[in-house]
Amino acid sequence: MSDAARPGENRRMLLRLSVIALAMFGFGYALVPFYYAICSALGVNDFIKADAAPTANTQVDLTRSVTVEFDANVHDAPMHFRPVTRHVAVHPGQLTTVEYEIANVRAMPVTAQAIPSYGPMRAAEYFHKIECFCFTQQTLAAGETRRMPLVFVVDAKLPKDVNTITLSYTFFEVAGRGGKT
């Protein structure tokens, strides 16, 4: 074959490749509606439906409300400790977050641990802490003030006659830590 015949052949080959590339692009573009049609026909991926009901948390008992009161104390520790919110109304099963604030009033670091107590006592088994500053010892620098979260759920199995839960925390200084002698 001569060199003069090759440019025409190259153009035809380029045209064929362009047509094939365009056809592949069109096929890929057309697959999206085909995918939805096939999923709809087979009943797969029904989350696409516009008339689907919103998902609800069935573990939350919306028929009742429980008041949770918060109390804060320190036992022989150089701290100020208080709940930012004194009480909240929650539905059993509802995830709730509140904060406590603690301040070290000593001129040196102090380490302390919070111990919870509940009223009535039987409510303790239905009060589930997800995140709590009471899980670990807290070391505060001299003069430091800190806000600490408490994330909890009141179990939906809480007896119906319990309408109020009091959660009380007492901070105790940890012996041998934080400068106390």
More confident residue, 2 or 15: 15
Strand partners, 152: 96, 129
Q: What is the DSSP letter of 42?
A: H
Whole-model pTM over 0.75: no
> What is the rounded distance in angstroms from the CA atom of residue 17 to the CA atom of residue 159?
74
The dihedral of CA 123, 128, 133, 135: what is its sign?
positive
- 169 within 8 A of 118, measured Cβ to Cβ: no
* Whole-number pLDDT of residue 4: 56
* Whole-number pLDDT of residue 107: 93
More confident residue, 44 or 25: 25
Is a pLDDT exceeding 80 seen at residue 1?
A: no
* Whole-number pLDDT of residue 161: 94
- 77 within 8 A of 110, measured Cβ to Cβ: yes
For the stretch 116-132, pLDDT in tens is: 999 999 999 999 999 99
* Whole-number pLDDT of residue 50: 53
Is a pLDDT exceeding 90 seen at residue 37?
A: no
For the stretch 78-89, pLDDT in tens is: 899 999 999 999
* Distance from chain centroid for Cα 52: 25
Is a pLDDT exceeding 80 seen at residue 53?
A: no
Q: What is the DSSP letter of 161?
A: T
Q: How high does pLDDT run on average in the chain?
A: 87
Is a pLDDT exceeding 70 seen at residue 155?
A: yes
Task: Map residue 14 onto helix, strand or coil.
Answer: helix
> What is the rounded distance in angstroms from the CA atom of residue 95 to the CA atom of residue 40?
36
Is a pLDDT exceeding 50 seen at residue 153?
A: yes
